[in-house]
Structure 1
């Protein structure tokens, strides 16, 4: 009974999140943008004009993604401009087949190649590709190309105006949605951490889940940075934005704290096996913090309804009693527990700070972040012309993808003409939607697109057999389109199902023979999906293993720079610099990229997954290394520490050298002789740490807080340096053994 109630509760929460999401609101906006021009066209008997304006709105819409309003409007205007130019040129392609095929290939290549400039550029590129494909359709066939291009421009401006209007009516919606989602994902991360504490759990699966959650969190952090920092820079100071920025900072810090892994699981297993109650208390605290974050996310927009809860404090007190019950301050187990307790206590402080910021405190009590400091954390895209030139070769995955897409669209259109397909541009439409630079994503999309189309076709047949009501067809066409666009990022299979339904019902309004439409729709999708998969498999394939070493270089380098910043702070103390925080952000982003690259590799054919076990080992090695860095960083930042010792600097210098060696291997600047130059890390560690921290007899007898703090510091620094040194010694060896 309880299980079914939980399922119902989760389903309702998922539905609530879906309806409150930016995806859904954007889909509603698109529905309005597409419907109004058609209704006006019908009203004033100028339907072709209304339909063409609708096409313009559709072509602009892909660039309407979350981010700062300035970036969004810029993207929409560029997408509109590109769609106008491409539609104008596309209007003349039908004049000659000899003219059509080479121009089609050239346009496809260069429009697709624009995506070299990043995510938003790839969306503008998609608008151009879609405009080119739709220029082959019968829409506005009686118009001159320049007339069609102008109306498409009007449609793009119409959608841009609606997007601006939505922003000014609901300016807080994107911030609230992504902040709420960040809270929920952070809650998931803490909950998974709690599950990892238990020995009999499948830790391998949980660690993968943890890595996936971390990757998703890092991506959303980037979106929030763009929304919060850019909006503050553009509109000046705002209490709302300032407070949301501070909440975001707490959540970023919480991710670093959650990543912190002060000890290995073999030690915690041995300890908690002897004291199961301590395990229950630590796990209960993690679960309580996770639950609280979920509650906060649900009431983020209405914090007055957020009720106080003593659950976290109760568990924190239990953990404190567990930790301080023993008087044996020299016990390694006890020192480990105390450090664990300190990490959890810091997490609780972060949650308390979030709740305090939501309680509408007096602005004089808040230390807002200055815009000029915040700007340094934005990831800037390089739009120089040199980027196009540097990537104009077969070493670039985007170049190969553009070449592949151009070739397959020529073949696809040729197949459509050869076999007299009713709408050959549907094959091209399937190709541009499905084909991606990575084989795995293309294969997955092909499969989901095919299944979704078949399901949509079957549902359409059923509805057409039941009723021939054209009004119902119109309602279903618009509703299906809205749902389809809102599901693209969430569930591509469902999106393909509803887009098929929408297309069928639109044609049902125009053509009496609906079953032919369904038949051709399914056939064209199958042809397009098959060509997309074959293209990625045989034409200039971009297997992940070939580009993985570049991703690894970025990850290892980012970890090294982050470590060097930690070392510098530990030696100098004082205020945490922006340079330190940027280095931390970069390390998290690079780790996210490495995780995504490995996931893409797992989707490739078995014959192409070279050394996948080694690649997984390298990915987990870097993730564990970053976790250990996060642990070291968190302790040093949040606790008064003694001056950095010569031992600390000697070991950390060795770790940096090992990372530099790993980078050299990845850059092909060294050989396998490196393995002979590396020594056993145990010997190095024991040699350097032979001089242990000395305490006077008076300090030992007194057991003061200062004395215990020094013990805890010595234990944690000792453990983390040992972990980091071990992993840094292992990394070059694993890299040499892996063939890229």
Structure 2
């Protein structure tokens, strides 16, 4: 009960709920004023304009929000103007409808926010069939639609200035919770064999979610700080965000490859248990921070970590026997692993300190010229449309598919003489997405949600017979539907159905007929969408997974080169290293998402999924090793790079370049696979890991140097092994 009440309270505090209230106000006020002033049609037009522009109001900087809503207002005005003349007879309507749908959908080529603007345009196009003008000219109606968009922009901007911190706080809180969950899964992965696959998959999913949150937070915090100067609030939240990024890097990092770590810890279950306890406590501390982000005094203070570190250090010291190479190697590995956990604790302490609203010194601020390098501007060059006007582009195929299905859906509705055939095409544009997996999920959720909503509405209309109650319930259902559309689409579809039925119940006495057609239209639209994804210019993931693999490998190569360059040159950590780290995490996350989409597709379309999965996992392991190196060299003074270091790093870079080159020649559409393995060459390079490490251990008695040598050479050996493994997998496709 306590957890449910907390979740309900968090839901009411969320930006999703406040945005739903905002949309409901933007839609309701013009309607009410229109009824009062007897200018209902003007109120309705303003209502439509506000509603159609609301999808562009997503998390991001205020400037980007405002530009998105303005472009939405312009697009829906133009589409409404054109739509006013679309009430044509005969066959002329269908090609015009198809061309318009394609053109509007193709705008999505310019990124996520553009896809929301495109969705607004599609809504305006579809709903232009639902409303016949009586007292307004087409141009007047189109202008009022645009004014409705400006009205929504006004109240959205006012709300932002009333509560400017809301989206930052919510996103930061969600990021902290996801980071805590990531730590928890990493803890479970230590020594696990049975659940290894599911845990690794969970880690990939969490990393993708975290990367999305990081990208949004970068936009909000960096662009907001640039526009407001050195704001204390924005600067402190930015520094908290940086700590979270470094916590993720440390969480991914390991001083030794996972299999070797697990084998060593299996022999010492008490040490494994102590490490797990520390990671578990770090996760709990993060959750406490998330829960009390606005009230840092309530954050739990625990001495458990201090005690746990002391106990573990004593346990590890037992292995400090330089005369026994195996014990001493275990000591170095465990001590390096312990150092990572201590760094995590330092990051936690810094987050708590920053949330305590301290006075920052000028050195604490990050300069804007450095921050600018972490923001990638969207390319809005018109040539992008031309470059993507081919079947190689998924957005092109999606736009063409959507245009065809919209024409077909409307034709089916007209042929069957449905009450509201535009409901079919409305269902199509809401459900259809460029990927098969998401379309399948939304199809299922939409059908289930509509059926549940219809059943509930059928029961309620027998109990209620008041238009005022219908109106009130319709608005309440609309608020809940809008607030849940991102988090639970099935529930959102349920409340959208309830809202539509209650609103129609005011106008249509035969409400059961409305419910019947609503269900039929949704079923037809959903089935057409799903069928189109299977048979109309399908975009299966195996067709594009190669590109994601190459992008991820290239990003990892740049990150690796940045790390090795810094290790050789020393000095202050360059911004380029952190930028390349961000890109490596982003591209690895994109690769994971692409593989997840592939895993959701029909078995017959999952070409070489086992081999691709191996490449994805090895690539993740490669990033883990890079994170280990990166975290170590950024936080420790290191010795001079040896000739062997340069030789090995060149070998790894050459392997990476060869893999990228080979991937460019692979076609995963080929069903057959050559079952060949790389033959060992006579002059094949053998990594002298043990020899090099032992030389360092003999040359000096400095434990810090020993720890560095063990970690650096362990990671380089692991990186080299991973590139060799990738070469073998890729070679099978050549």
TM-score (norm 2): 0.95
Tell me whether 1:83 sits opposite 2:80 in the alignment.
no
Do the aligned residues in 2 keep the contact of 1:323 with 1:341 (CA within 8 Å)? no
Tell me whether 1:713 sits opposite 2:718 in the alignment.
no
Which of 656, 659, 663 is 2:660 aligned to?
Answer: 663
Alignment CA distance shift 1:478-1:140 (3 Å): farther
**Which residue does 1:441 correspond to in 2?**
438
SS at match of 1:93: coil
TM-score (norm 1): 0.95
**Which residue does 1:545 correspond to in 2?**
542
**Which residue does 2:574 correspond to in 1?**
577
Aligned partners of 2:197, 2:682: CA distance in 1, in Å?
26
Offset of residue 276 of structure 1: 2.1
Aligned partners of 1:343, 1:696: CA distance in 2, in Å?
22
5+ residue gaps in structure 1? 1-7, 701-706
Do the aligned residues in 2 keep the contact of 1:445 with 1:492 (CA within 8 Å)? yes
**Which residue does 2:262 correspond to in 1?**
269
Q: Which is further off, 346-355 or 639-648?
A: 639-648
Do the aligned residues in 2 keep the contact of 1:456 with 1:497 (CA within 8 Å)? yes
Aligned partners of 1:230, 1:180: CA distance in 2, in Å?
19
Tell me whether 1:513 sits opposite 2:510 in the alignment.
yes
Deviations 1:502-557 (A, max 9, x none): 00001011111110110000000000001101111111111110011111110110
**Which residue does 2:415 correspond to in 1?**
418
Q: Which is further off, 265-274 or 424-433?
A: 265-274
Offset of residue 680 of structure 1: 7.3
Which structure 2 residues correspond to residues 319-718 of structure 1 after superposition, within 5 A? 319-329=312-322, 330=325, 331-364=328-361, 367-668=364-665, 679=680, 684-687=685-688, 690-692=691-693, 694=695, 699-700=700-701, 707-718=702-713
Q: Which is further off, 330-339 or 161-170?
A: 330-339
**Which residue does 2:49 correspond to in 1?**
56
Do the aligned residues in 1 keep the contact of 2:316 with 2:334 (CA within 8 Å)? yes
Aligned partners of 1:673, 1:656: CA distance in 2, in Å?
26
Tell me whether 1:287 sits opposite 2:288 in the alignment.
no
Do the aligned residues in 1 keep the contact of 2:696 with 2:709 (CA within 8 Å)? no
Which of 293, 298, 301 is 1:308 aligned to?
Answer: 301
Aligned partners of 1:308, 1:236: CA distance in 2, in Å?
34
Aligned partners of 2:683, 2:339: CA distance in 1, in Å?
28
Deviations 1:220-266 (A, max 9, x none): 00000000000111111101100111000010111111111222343
Deviations 1:664-685 (A, max 9, x none): 1122299999988875799634
SS at match of 1:694: helix
Q: Which is further off, 416-425 or 314-323?
A: 314-323
Aligned partners of 1:615, 1:673: CA distance in 2, in Å?
14
Offset of residue 140 of structure 1: 4.3
Alignment CA distance shift 1:726-1:680 (3 Å): farther
Aligned partners of 1:28, 1:261: CA distance in 2, in Å?
46
Q: Which is further off, 644-653 or 70-79?
A: 644-653
Tell me whether 1:212 sits opposite 2:205 in the alignment.
yes
Do the aligned residues in 1 keep the contact of 2:427 with 2:522 (CA within 8 Å)? yes
Which of 228, 234, 237 is 1:235 aligned to?
Answer: 228
Aligned partners of 2:58, 2:101: CA distance in 1, in Å?
23
Alignment CA distance shift 1:320-1:680 (3 Å): farther
Tell me whether 1:152 sits opposite 2:149 in the alignment.
no
Tell me whether 1:47 sits opposite 2:40 in the alignment.
yes
Aligned partners of 2:432, 2:363: CA distance in 1, in Å?
49
Tell me whether 1:183 sits opposite 2:180 in the alignment.
no
Do the aligned residues in 2 keep the contact of 1:678 with 1:729 (CA within 8 Å)? no
Q: Which is further off, 553-562 or 643-652?
A: 643-652
Please report the RMSD computed on the Cα atoms of aligned residues, expressed in angstroms.
2.2
**Which residue does 1:127 correspond to in 2?**
120
5+ residue gaps in structure 2? none
Offset of residue 692 of structure 1: 4.3
Aligned partners of 2:646, 2:235: CA distance in 1, in Å?
38
Which of 715, 718, 722 is 1:723 aligned to?
Answer: 718
Offset of residue 699 of structure 1: 4.7
Alignment CA distance shift 1:214-1:680 (3 Å): farther
Q: Which is further off, 482-491 or 242-251?
A: 482-491
Do the aligned residues in 1 keep the contact of 2:26 with 2:151 (CA within 8 Å)? yes
Aligned partners of 2:733, 2:27: CA distance in 1, in Å?
52
Q: Which is further off, 290-299 or 94-103?
A: 94-103
SS at match of 1:73: helix
Aligned partners of 2:145, 2:667: CA distance in 1, in Å?
56
Alignment CA distance shift 1:716-1:391 (3 Å): same
Aligned partners of 1:681, 1:81: CA distance in 2, in Å?
68
Offset of residue 143 of structure 1: 2.8
Do the aligned residues in 2 keep the contact of 1:615 with 1:738 (CA within 8 Å)? no
Do the aligned residues in 1 keep the contact of 2:689 with 2:714 (CA within 8 Å)? no
Do the aligned residues in 1 keep the contact of 2:207 with 2:589 (CA within 8 Å)? yes
Aligned partners of 1:595, 1:276: CA distance in 2, in Å?
32
Offset of residue 325 of structure 1: 3.7
Alignment CA distance shift 1:242-1:384 (3 Å): same
Offset of residue 13 of structure 1: 4.0
Aligned partners of 2:412, 2:674: CA distance in 1, in Å?
55
Q: Which is further off, 366-375 or 682-691?
A: 682-691
SS at match of 1:98: coil
Offset of residue 695 of structure 1: 5.7
Do the aligned residues in 2 keep the contact of 1:651 with 1:685 (CA within 8 Å)? no
Offset of residue 50 of structure 1: 1.2
Deviations 1:364-391 (A, max 9, x none): 2761111221111012111101111100
**Which residue does 1:38 correspond to in 2?**
31
**Which residue does 1:174 correspond to in 2?**
167
Q: Which is further off, 315-324 or 520-529?
A: 315-324
Aligned partners of 2:248, 2:589: CA distance in 1, in Å?
13
Aligned partners of 1:348, 1:621: CA distance in 2, in Å?
29
Do the aligned residues in 2 keep the contact of 1:647 with 1:689 (CA within 8 Å)? no
Alignment CA distance shift 1:692-1:300 (3 Å): closer
Aligned partners of 2:466, 2:331: CA distance in 1, in Å?
74
Aligned partners of 1:691, 1:455: CA distance in 2, in Å?
67
Do the aligned residues in 1 keep the contact of 2:80 with 2:125 (CA within 8 Å)? yes
Aligned partners of 1:421, 1:415: CA distance in 2, in Å?
9
